[in-house]
């Protein structure tokens, strides 16, 4: 099923409803064939799958889309398993598929991690009519939660600061990012993470935009900051390389669907007077 020209809408769906399309996920890996990520739901459920969760994701155009979660990477003729990071960062996918995949990845992680109660160990039950897992003995209900994180483009006139970790594909550089710690504001997190990861001080911090980011369940808050002082000192074990790049000599960058690329392209557009890009919502 091709999603080009369609719009993705996340919503709760009753899994008792038959039919629709489905995405098959296993530990942040998705089943893919020549036609993409979507399979006829009833066909998938006729296969030898041991489901650990089934969730209604929403609609792609007029079609209902469901998520099937398994705990083993099964061999399926004509299909391969691809990781979330590979699909989102390296594959040329359209905006609705990008949004649907990111949402499915976060719901799959939540479903996998809330099969059993963390307090008493009893199996949790899906609530009817809402996306929640409930423990009857404890009376606790767990809903999908987000972890706030920040991502920032640091600039110095005609230069931008980019870095890479060992997890990145060879040659790819991106903006700095990190998780907000308990009791910390997002702005304080930006200052701390830049200082920790590359040893620099920043100024003129400005919020730009946000994007849901499924690694594994983040809400990425995007900022722009200006260089204030310091020399680059990459954090051992975290940053493989970091350097200043001229705007006309940039390295390989992340996918245009990502907030990191958006922050870079937005600065380039503003510096050159070109129309500003749009981050898909």
Domain at 70, CATH number: 3.90.79
- Residue 49 is assigned to a structural domain of this protein: yes
List, edge to edge, every strand of the sheet that includes 140-142.
125-126, 133-135, 140-142
* Torsion angle defined by CA atoms of residues 85, 76, 126 and 218, in that order, rounded to the nearest 10 degrees: 0
Same structural domain for residues 209 and 244? yes
Same structural domain for residues 110 and 151? no
Classify 260 as helix, strand or coil. helix
Domain boundary among 70, 102, 120: 120
Which of 9, 62, 3 minimizes the C-alpha distance to 37?
3
What lies within 8 Å, CB to CB, of 237 at 6+ separation is: none
Which of 191, 200, 192 minimizes the C-alpha distance to 163?
200
Same structural domain for residues 264 and 175? yes
What lies within 8 Å, CB to CB, of 59 at 6+ separation is: 8, 9, 11, 65
This model's pTM is above 0.95: no
Rounded to the nearest angstrom, the gap between the alpha carbon of residue 18 and the centroid of all alpha carbons in its chain is 29
- Residue 2 is assigned to a structural domain of this protein: no
Same structural domain for residues 152 and 193? yes
Query: Residue written as tokens 């609609």?
Result: 59
Same structural domain for residues 12 and 111? yes
- Structure token pair of residue 92: 């040329």
Task: Give the range of the structural domain holding residue 221, as residue numbers without chain letter.
Answer: 147-271
- Residue 243 is assigned to a structural domain of this protein: yes
What pLDDT tens digit does each residue of the chain (281 aa) get?
Answer: 555 567 889 888 989 899 999 999 998 899 999 989 999 999 999 998 899 999 999 999 899 999 999 988 988 889 999 988 888 776 667 888 888 998 999 999 999 999 999 999 999 999 888 899 999 999 999 999 999 999 999 999 999 999 999 888 889 999 999 999 999 999 999 999 999 999 999 999 999 999 998 888 899 999 999 999 999 999 999 999 999 999 999 999 988 888 999 999 999 999 999 999 988 66
Same structural domain for residues 55 and 95? yes
* Torsion angle defined by CA atoms of residues 173, 179, 185 and 189, in that order, rounded to the nearest 10 degrees: -40
Which of 100, 77, 81, 65 minimizes the C-alpha distance to 27?
81
Spatial separation of the C-alpha atoms in residues 31 and 75, rounded to whole Å: 10
- Residue 127 is assigned to a structural domain of this protein: no
User: How many structural domains does the chain have?
Assistant: 2
Same structural domain for residues 34 and 106? yes
- Residue 126 is assigned to a structural domain of this protein: no
Same structural domain for residues 94 and 183? no
Same structural domain for residues 156 and 267? yes
Classify 232 as helix, strand or coil. coil
């Amino acid at each position: 099923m091709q999603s080009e020209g369609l719009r993705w809408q996340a919503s709760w769906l009753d899994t008792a409803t038959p039919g629709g399309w489905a995405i098959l996920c296993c530990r942040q890996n998705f089943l893919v064939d020549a036609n993409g990520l979507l399979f006829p739901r009833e066909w998938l459920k006729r296969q030898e799958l041991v489901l650990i969760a089934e969730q209604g994701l929403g609609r792609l155009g007029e079609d209902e889309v469901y998520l099937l979660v398994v705990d083993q990477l099964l061999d399926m003729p004509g299909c391969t398993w691809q990781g979330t990071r590979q699909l989102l960062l390296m594959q040329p996918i359209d905006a609705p598929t990008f949004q649907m995949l990111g949402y499915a990845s976060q719901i799959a992680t939540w479903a996998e991690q809330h099969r059993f109660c963390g307090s008493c160990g009893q199996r949790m039950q899906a609530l009817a009519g809402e996306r929640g897992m409930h423990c009857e003995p404890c009376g606790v209900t767990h809903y999908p939660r987000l972890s706030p994180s920040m991502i920032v483009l640091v600039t110095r006139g005609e230069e931008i600061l980019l870095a890479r970790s060992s997890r990145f594909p060879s040659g790819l550089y991106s903006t700095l990012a990190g998780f907000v710690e308990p009791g910390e504001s997002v702005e304080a997190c930006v200052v701390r993470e830049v200082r920790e990861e590359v040893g620099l001080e920043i100024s003129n911090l400005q919020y730009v935009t946000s994007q849901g980011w499924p690694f594994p369940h983040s809400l990425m808050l995007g900022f722009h900051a200006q260089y204030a002082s310091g020399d680059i000192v990459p954090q051992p074990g975290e940053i493989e390389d970091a350097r200043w790049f001229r705007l006309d000599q940039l390295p390989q960058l992340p996918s245009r669907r990502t907030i990191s690329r958006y922050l870079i392209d937005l600065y380039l557009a503003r510096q050159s007077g070109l129309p500003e890009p749009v981050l898909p919502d």
